[in-house]
Structure 1
Amino acid sequence: MKILIVDDESNIQKTTALSLKTMGHQSVSAFSGSQALRKLGEDRFDAVFLDLRLGEENGLDVFDEMRKQGFEMPVIMFTAYSSIETAIEATRKGIFDYVAKPFVPEQIRQALRKLEDSLSLANKVTELESRLADKSPGIRFESQDSRMQQIYKVAEKAAKSDANILLLGPSGTGKTVLSRRIHEMSDRTGEPFVVVHCPSLSKELLESELFGHLKGSFTGAVKDTWGKVDAAEGGTLFLDEVADIPLEVQSKLLRLLQERLYERIGETKTRAANVRILAATNKDLQEEVREGRFREDLFYRLNVISLHLPGLAERKRDLEILVSDYVEFYARKMGREVATVEEDALEAILAYNWPGNLRELNNVVERCLILCSGNTVTLSDLPNEISGAAQTGSGSALINGLGNDVTLQALEDEHIKRVLERCDSLEQAARTLGIDSATLYRKRKKLGLL
């Protein structure tokens, strides 16, 4: 950690700094409240040691000003005026811990160990809250599919390194969940796992989200902000849909990958970052490079190890187990002891090709558990596109009937519908189908999809 020591006595400064150094931490000194506030504005600190008496200043007033200016790091207070009253007031204000003068180095080390344990616990709580917010049962990291078995095997080996990993595959195949699993299997598992959803932000907001900004550096920047790179310090930064990062931001991301350096918007000071980068996209990055939408050098930096997750239609052997896991998860969540799926409903589920992959399967199972009567999912509980496909021979049953009495036009129509459902844009769908946008427009119009 990087720790600010605020005390007007040089001997206290030296003793504290030496104790922190023996524990592997960095320290910076400030001898007054105003100097401390200035240094807090210039750099990022993980914690502060603050004296209760700073000449004529009251340390608790300095603490109040720190909080007022948005500095939320934990504070450990020194005082030679130890009393129950002072300790109670400091704790009430939010002081993390209290060290009475005179002290020995071991007391400093004990306070730091307590802080390290607290921060580690906070990271774990944040991680658990993040998982609960996902509201999904996660992924079983076992598979009957040989390709998935190989993916999990490579992921486990790669997790132990600090190599950048690129996760590829259609939307909904579990790229975010696998990235979290890689983080958990790595040596950074006790540190933060931070996600940036790249497509949801403009260029300006994405750059600020990643690197942070100084107050007044652009319209709406009303206070200094630290970005996700700083939040992921020591841990893993996951860039979701990295292909959507604007070219202007890609150059700064490249520098972060190559040199582990970055600057906040509006700041000239260069900062070092200790983060591991994982990235995911449902797009063909090599095609994006050829079209000039993605930097080639950034692609090679990200693509140290790549894992291509197949769609659910390509790993049908896992489908029945996944359905069982999802049914069990949502039954438990809804307070039911058990839930089952009738045979004909399961057959329809297995016949369907799941263009939305695991995300679609998750949503369908949750819907069925909400709507079903009792604890049994029947064919009538399934959405029409799934139950209807099994009953009428259309949809996925049509696709599975290749070589049977099915017209080429019917196959083409169904294929176009599936590609449009899977792709994020019409341009991507046209590229996948191998036709131009005008032709796709005409075919969509014919299918009544306009």
Structure 2
Amino acid sequence: MTQLDILIVDDEINIRKTLSVFMQSRGHRVTAISNSHDALKESALHVFDIAFVDLRLGTENGLDLAHSLLGVCPRIKIVVMTAYASIDTAVEAMKRGAADYIAKPFTPGQIELVTERLAGICDMENRIASLQEDLNRIHPEVYFSSRHSSMQRAIELARQVASSEAVVLLRGPSGTGKTVLARSIHNWSRKASKPFGIISCPSLSRELLESELFGHMKGSFTGAVRDNPGRVSSCEGGTLFLDEIGDLPISIQPKLLRFIQDREYERIGDHKTRKADVRIIAATNMDLEKAVKEGRFREDLFYRLNVIQIDLPPLSGRPDDVELHAKNMLDFFSAQNHKSFSGFTEKALLAMKEYSWPGNIRELRNVIERAVILGKTGQIGEELLPETIISQAPPVRIGDPLALEVIEENHIRSILASVSSLQDAADILGIDQATLWRKRKQYRI
């Protein structure tokens, strides 16, 4: 069963102890409270998955507390407990947002059944949220097959560290797949059923970035019309990916350092110290050592982030991977666009393998998607590739590992470019004009 954070609210100490021991024996984290005030205080500091709430808490009404808990944490599952069970109170509990209702005295089997059912719902909600993020920025998951030793080492290291709680720093040029690798590390970890959040540090101003990261209280600054719990809170139990961490403003860096060290933070406009169990994965294409020397990045934060460093090599040094990824992406985008392609022409493949790919895998993805959209059926030829790729392709040489028709096509193109008439070209090639016309049609010259 998934490990859950469980809140128990009951004014009877024996109930609290019994439930706590039972839940802890099942591997869950438990906080046991006797009253509404302390329960709300704890829920402001921690994100709970399930709350077992007694209907009568001395002079207090447990249903009122259930409503308040849902206001603080909308995804919490409330189980109302009572020794005064009736249909009316059960109906009222459900109206107030309770997920289940259980009568006292209850058996361990009943508690386990309720917990397993709600754990399944929590797990399903987390998976749906993760799938929704994937749909919002759909991409072919092809990046983690590689024929290149440096990329294979990076993938293997990522798999090894996934099961730990260590901070991971992903380094490499833009477009090498750092975001996809961060998500994979999360999915390979024990936190896979918990949320995965992303913050792009360069995309927000200093004020908005701090608010997005740690949250803010209503009225704490102009435009703060409602409370914002922040990504740290919403990723409780899961992973937060900080993309382009080198662009994190210097004023926010001490707050992030404190959170990494102590798991503590405050929302903007609120002095209450909160805690969160969130793993940090960061990425950068910047020379952080240089940024530290220039005073743009804190040295202590750099060392905290750089516990495990994974370097992703650029695509330009991995020509075999270009072909591998291009073919996988072609299958992906062909299916997405309801088209059928058998592959690439040899000349198109050669051009792609010789291209420098300054945008790395992201650029390759865009090129293949464009080719599929513009193409019809059959093979993807060079005519469907951007001019920037074709212009960088080296001339074909005798002895290159190419089909005869590729050499023939390039020879005909070269001759046509060097003469002033088709008859001159035909004479040099040793063929008649009709044959040359057919060859030009065949090769789309």
TM-score by length of 2: 0.78
| Residue 129 in structure 1 maps to residue 138 in structure 2 | no
Residues 105, 264 of structure 1: alpha-carbon distance in 2 compared, 3 angstrom cutoff: farther
Report what 2:31 is aligned to.
27
Range with greater deviation from structure 2 (229-238 or 350-359): 229-238
Bigger mean CA offset, 371-380 vs 218-227: 218-227
- 2:326 aligns with 323
Unaligned runs of 5+ in 2: 397-445
Cα displacement (A) at 1:329? 0.7
1:238 aligns with 2:244: no
Change (3 A) 1:134 1:70: same
CA contact (8 A) 1:66 1:72 kept: no
CA distance in 1, matches of 2:42, 2:169: 38
Q: Match of 1:343?
A: 346
Match of 2:158 among 148, 155, 158: 155
- Report the Cα offset of residue 223 of structure 1: 3.5
Moved more, 304-313 or 211-220: 211-220
The 1:42/1:302 distance shift into structure 2, 3 A limit, reads closer
CA displacement 1:205-239 (0-9 Å, x = unmatched):
22222222333333333333322222333322211
Paired position in structure 2 for 1:260: 263
Give runs of aligned pairs for residues 11-410 of structure 1, distance below 5 A: 12-23=15-26, 24-31=28-35, 40-41=43-44, 44-52=47-55, 59-60=62-63, 63-64=66-67, 66-67=69-70, 71-80=74-83, 82=85, 87=90, 90-91=93-94, 94-390=97-393
Distance 2:275 2:39 in 1: 21
Residues 256/55 of structure 1: CA separation in 2 closer, same or farther (3 Å cut): closer
SS in 2 for 1:247: coil
* Change beyond 3 A, Cα 1:54–1:109: same
Alignment partners' CA distance in 2, 1:280 and 1:13 = 43
**Greater alpha carbon shift after TM alignment, 193-202 vs 359-368:** 193-202
Q: TM-score, normalised by structure 1?
A: 0.77
1:283 to partner: Cα distance: 0.9
Give 1:91 deviation, angstroms: 4.3
Call closer, same or farther: CA 1:67–1:257 in 2, change over 3 Å. closer
Task: Work out the CA distance in 1 between the residues paired with 2:272 and 2:390.
Answer: 60
Aligned residues: 392
3-state SS of 2:251 partner: helix
Describe the SS at the equivalent of 1:340.
strand
Q: Which amino acid aligns with 1:25?
A: R
Counterpart CA distance in 1 for 2:44 and 2:281 is 30
Encode CA deviations 1:11-51: one digit per residue, 9 max, x unaligned.
5455444444444432242545x775566456543332234
Alpha-carbon distance, 1:247 to partner = 0.7
What amino acid sits opposite 1:380 in the alignment? E
3-state DSSP of counterpart to 2:121: helix
- Amino acid of the residue matched to residue 366 of structure 1? E
Query: How far apart are 1:312 and its partner, in Å?
Result: 1.0
Distance 2:157 2:7 in 1: 42
Distance in structure 1 (CA, Å) of the matches to 2:162 and 2:58:
51
Counterpart amino acid of residue 263 in structure 1: E
> Percent identity, aligned pairs only?
47
